[in-house]
Each structure stands twice: as C-alpha cells, then as structure tokens.
C-alpha cells in the first residue's frame, strides 16, 4: 500500500516536472515575430542591411538620395544613421513611381511590414502601400497615407496576417507607390523598413496552452483508468480468491 502511494506520488511529481519543463519550453519558443528583412539605410544604399531582400525602383536614380534617419522602428540596436530620401524630380516625374521590396517569406506567416517616414510639404503626400503574391501584380493595402512632417516615434504598420497568400511565399513583395509631389525637390524620407513574420513550426501561445491541457487531460484519463483497474482487481480478489489450503 505504501509502495502504491509512493509510486503515485512519484508519477504526480514526474508529471508536474514534465509540465513545468514543457511550459517553460513552449513559452520561450511561442510564436514571436521575427525580422525577415530590415533596411536601415545607414550605409546610404538600397542593399538590405539585415536578413534577405531586394529593393527595385523606377524612380530616377538621381532623385534617390540619403539623409538623416531616425531610431523610430530601428531594430537590433541600429542607430538613426541615414534614411532614403526620395525627390519629386524634374517635372515631378517621379509621381506614380515606386520603391519595391521583394522579400521571400518562406518559413514565415503573419507577415507585418512597418517603417518610419516623413515628408516635406511639396514632397509625395499621397502614398499607397501595396503587396504582391507573385512579385508582378500589386494590390493596394489600406488607404493612401500622407507622411508626417517629422519621423516622430511611431512607425506606419501594415499587418498583413489576413493575406494568407503572403505566408510562406518566395515571391512576396511590398511596394510604396508615391504620388502628390508638387516640386522637384520635395522629398519623402523612409527609414527602418522592416518585414517580419512568425516562423512556421513554432506553436502559437494558444496551441501551447491546448497542448498542455491535452497532456493534463491524458494524465487524468490514465489516472482514472488505473483507479478503476485497481478497484476491479480488489473486488475481483474478494470474489474469486482461491480457497486457502
């Protein structure tokens, strides 16, 4: 009897220990957004600064400049450094042109794009964020926006988790379409352009909780069965114990 109690106690301690370890594991691993690509423009070029991705643009090269940046939306300890500064161009030729960020989201879901931006009064003041599932056709996401006159502390955030086609997509791309510039030297700066997502194969917090409650249910079920088995064997022992002698 004492052995049975000890055994049950050991089982309970083991289960609690395993649960605690699992809980620690799943909460440390639970789905957290991870940066896939970051442009901080601090090296005054369009080459990605962390992760993988490529910028293409049809804005006249002479109107793609670099100027003081911001720590708004900076990641991984990046300093403000520089930002990309786009001009309207002669005859405001760059109205209707774009910066396109091609970033493979293979292995990621719940894609979120964010960046800091500011514009001068004659710069592009009617910009549209777009996404693409094939890198060719772009779709408007959200309404057109007007950049603030200063970077400020809050980035523009485009939460694309509802666009399932952007998950795990080697051809995913994001675009800012610029419009509304009213002078050649009006500018719009962009800094800390970040594409992030949830790595696939990592349980969501809800899944982690479900996993633990499932495990707990399984334990209770096993415990119940063992108790029933014990009762049956005790009753059976009473009824069919062989006669002594």
Contacts with Ca ion, residue ranges (CB under 5 A): 40-43, 45, 47, 49, 69, 81, 191
The residue among 42 and 92 lying less far from Ca ion, judged by its C-beta, is 42
**Looking at beta carbons only, is 68 or 144 nearer to Ca ion?**
68
Decide: 57 and 45 in contact? Cβ < 8 Å.
Answer: no
CB of 146 to Ca ion, least distance (A): 21
Report CA 69 to chain centroid distance, whole Å.
24
Nearer to Ca ion, 42 or 118 (CB): 42
Question: 43 or 140: whose CB is closer to Ca ion?
Answer: 43
- Signed CA dihedral, 231, 233, 236, 238: sign only: negative
CB of 107 to Ca ion, least distance (A): 23
Least Å from the CB of residue 81 to Ca ion: 4
Say if residues 133 and 164 touch (Cβ distance below 8 Å). no
Q: Which residue is nearest to Ca ion (CB)?
A: 69
Nearest to Ca ion of 41, 138 (CB atom): 41
**Is the Cβ–Cβ distance between 85 and 76 less than 8 Å?**
no
Minimum distance of Ca ion from residue 155's CB (angstroms): 12
Number of Cβ atoms within 10 Å of the Cβ of 99: 23
Contacts of 173 (CB under 8 A, 6+ apart): 100, 101, 102, 103, 131, 132, 135, 138
Shortest distance (Å) from residue 38 CB to Ca ion: 9
Cα distance between residue 158 and residue 149, in whole Å: 20
For residues 46-70, one letter each, b for 16 or more C-beta atoms within 10 angstroms of the residue's C-beta and e for the rest, the string is bebbebebebebebeeebbebeebb
How near is the Cβ of 39 to Ca ion at its closest, in Å?
6
Nearer of residues 45 and 122 to Ca ion, judged by Cβ: 45
């Amino acid at each position: 009897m004492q052995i049975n109690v000890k055994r049950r106690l050991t089982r309970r301690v083991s289960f609690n220990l395993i649960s605690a370890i699992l809980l620690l594991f799943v909460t440390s691993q639970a789905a957290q957004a991870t940066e896939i690509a970051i442009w901080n423009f601090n090296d005054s070029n369009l080459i990605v600064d962390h992760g993988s991705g490529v910028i293409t643009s049809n804005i006249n090269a002479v109107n793609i400049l670099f100027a003081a940046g911001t720590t708004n939306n900076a990641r991984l300890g990046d300093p403000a450094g520089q930002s990309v500064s786009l001009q309207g161009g002669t005859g405001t030729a760059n109205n209707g042109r774009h910066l396109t960020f091609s970033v493979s989201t293979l292995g990621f879901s719940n894609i979120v794009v964010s960046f800091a931006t500011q514009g001068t009064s004659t710069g592009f003041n009617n910009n549209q964020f777009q996404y693409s599932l094939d890198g060719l056709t772009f779709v408007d996401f959200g309404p057109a926006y007007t950049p603030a006159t200063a970077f400020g502390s809050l980035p523009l955030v485009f939460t694309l988790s509802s666009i399932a086609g952007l998950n795990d997509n080697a051809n995913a791309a994001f675009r800012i379409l610029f419009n509304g510039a009213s002078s050649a030297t009006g500018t719009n700066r962009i800094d800390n352009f970040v594409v992030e997502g949830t790595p696939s194969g990592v349980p969501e917090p809800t899944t982690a909780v479900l996993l633990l409650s499932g495990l707990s249910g399984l334990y209770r079920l096993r415990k119940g069965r063992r108790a029933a088995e014990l009762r049956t064997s005790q009753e059976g022992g009473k009824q069919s114990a062989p006669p002594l002698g």
